[in-house]
């Protein structure tokens, strides 16, 4: 199975995975279909489908099927069937941010910072607990930009534009009071019960090993590979902060890590020294996600 998925993929492979994704979304939502759920399912589908194209943009997968397949399995294992609209929007905006910020062309990035700020603001409006993403973008701008002050101004301008539009719209509809529940910093609920996450322990251990192996062989990698992989790790850290502080037992938050985990694990599998290690690790990932899916569906843990 690993050898089959290690074959070269191309842009025409993506519709096959997107079609399977659409089937998953339809099956999970067909029993509780209504207009609101249909809108959320549509946003979720767009966000996840757009992420498939991010694999080719980031280009850390050596153009194989492996990360595409792993991402599909992650979605199957972690998608609960219905999402909060905030998480659905976060998946969509994260895909846009990945497409914009992973470009190695400084000119493209600097022209997109206003749009990136607008996307980060929309992300916060729909799901305030994703505020670490805005911090991530600021760190990214400081670490990669030649003109830091100007690009930070562009990013903040995008935020201000969305904030002004949002408050103007709320004022127009006579919503003039501030709900303190919207302020996320007093609502932190760190995970206290880890039993539901037990099936994912093998995947967590593999991710830790993959990060260790990356830094162990850091100097052997090309500058572009180091840049993009470091970007992916910091992006994952921003998602991890949100998950640790706010997930508790709302396990659909784990979908925010599905994309970076797919790339990190696919690279780990590729560089394992023995073929049998790759095959065993590959099937262990699948079994862990399927077990987690069964456990959450039947509430076994």
Residue recorded with tokens 């830790």: 208
Nearest one of 230, 291, 265 to 69, comparing CA atoms: 265
CA–CA dist 38, 26 (Å, integer)? 9
Task: Please give the share of the chain, as a percent, with pLDDT higher than 90.
Answer: 30
What is the predicted pLDDT for the residue at 92? 92
pLDDT tens for residues 247-277?
887 889 999 999 999 999 988 888 888 888 8
What is the predicted pLDDT for the residue at 254? 93
Does the pLDDT at position 33 exceed 70? no
Does the pLDDT at position 83 exceed 70? yes
3-state secondary structure string across the chain: CHHHHCCECCHHHHHHHHHHHHHHHHHHHHHHCCHHHHHHHHHHHHHHHHHHHHHHHHCCCCCECHHHHHHHHHHHHHCCCCCCHHHHHHHHHHHHHHHHHCCCCHHHHHHHHHHHHHHHHHHHHHCHHHHHHHHHHHHHHHHHCCCHHHHHHHHHHHHHHHHHHHHHHHHHCCCCCCCHHHCHHHCCCCCCCCHHHHHHHHHHHHHHHHHHHHHHCHHHCCHHHHHHHHHHHHHHHHHHHHHHHHCCCCHHHHHHHHHHHHHHHHHHHHCCCCHHHHHHHHHHHHHHHHHHHHHHHCCCC
What is the predicted pLDDT for the residue at 45? 87
What is the predicted pLDDT for the residue at 301? 57
The separation between the first and the last C-alpha atoms of the chain, rounded to the nearest angstrom, is 30
Does the pLDDT at position 41 exceed 90? no
Mean pLDDT of 75-100: 88
What is the predicted pLDDT for the residue at 11? 54
Contact status, residue 5 vs residue 266, Cβ threshold 8 Å: no
pTM of the model: 0.89
What is the predicted pLDDT for the residue at 187? 63
CA–CA dist 176, 247 (Å, integer)? 30
Split into its structural domains, the chain has a count of: 1
4: confidence class by pLDDT, cuts 50, 70, 90: low
What is the predicted pLDDT for the residue at 5? 62
Contact status, residue 25 vs residue 41, Cβ threshold 8 Å: yes
CA–CA dist 255, 117 (Å, integer)? 22
pLDDT tens for residues 172-188?
878 777 767 677 776 66
Contact status, residue 227 vs residue 104, Cβ threshold 8 Å: yes
Domain that holds residue 168: 2-297
pLDDT tens for residues 189-233?
767 777 888 999 999 999 999 999 888 887 877 777 788 888 889
Structure tokens at 56: 């080719």
């Amino acid at each position: 199975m690993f050898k089959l998925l290690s074959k070269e993929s191309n842009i025409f492979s993506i519709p096959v995975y997107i079609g399977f994704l659409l089937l998953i979304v339809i099956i999970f939502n067909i029993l509780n279909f209504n207009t609101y759920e249909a809108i959320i399912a549509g946003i979720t589908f767009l966000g996840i489908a757009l992420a498939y194209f991010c694999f080719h943009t980031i280009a850390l997968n050596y153009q194989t099927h492996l990360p595409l397949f792993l991402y599909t399995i992650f979605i199957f294992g972690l998608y609960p069937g219905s999402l909060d609209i905030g998480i659905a929007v976060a998946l969509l905006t994260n895909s846009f941010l990945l497409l914009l910020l992973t470009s190695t062309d400084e000119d493209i990035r600097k022209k997109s910072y206003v749009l990136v700020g607008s996307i980060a603001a929309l992300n916060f409006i729909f799901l305030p607990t994703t505020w670490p993403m805005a911090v991530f973008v600021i760190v990214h701008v400081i670490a990669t930009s030649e003109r830091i002050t100007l690009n930070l101004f562009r990013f903040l301008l995008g935020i201000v534009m969305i904030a002004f539009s949002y408050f103007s719209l709320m004022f127009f509809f006579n919503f003039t009071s501030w709900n303190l529940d919207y302020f996320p910093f007093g609502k932190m609920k760190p995970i206290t019960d880890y039993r539901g996450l037990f099936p994912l322990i093998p995947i967590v251990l593999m991710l830790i090993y993959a990060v260790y192996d990356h830094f162990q062989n850091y100097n052997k990698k090309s500058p572009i590979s180091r840049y993009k992989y470091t970007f992916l790790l910091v992006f994952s850290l921003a998602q991890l902060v949100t998950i640790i502080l706010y997930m508790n037992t709302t396990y659909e938050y784990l979908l925010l890590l599905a994309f970076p985990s797919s790339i990190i694990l696919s690279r780990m599998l590729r560089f394992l020294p023995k073929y049998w290690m790759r095959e065993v690790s590959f099937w262990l990932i699948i079994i862990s996600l399927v077990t987690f899916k069964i456990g959450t569906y039947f509430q076994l843990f």
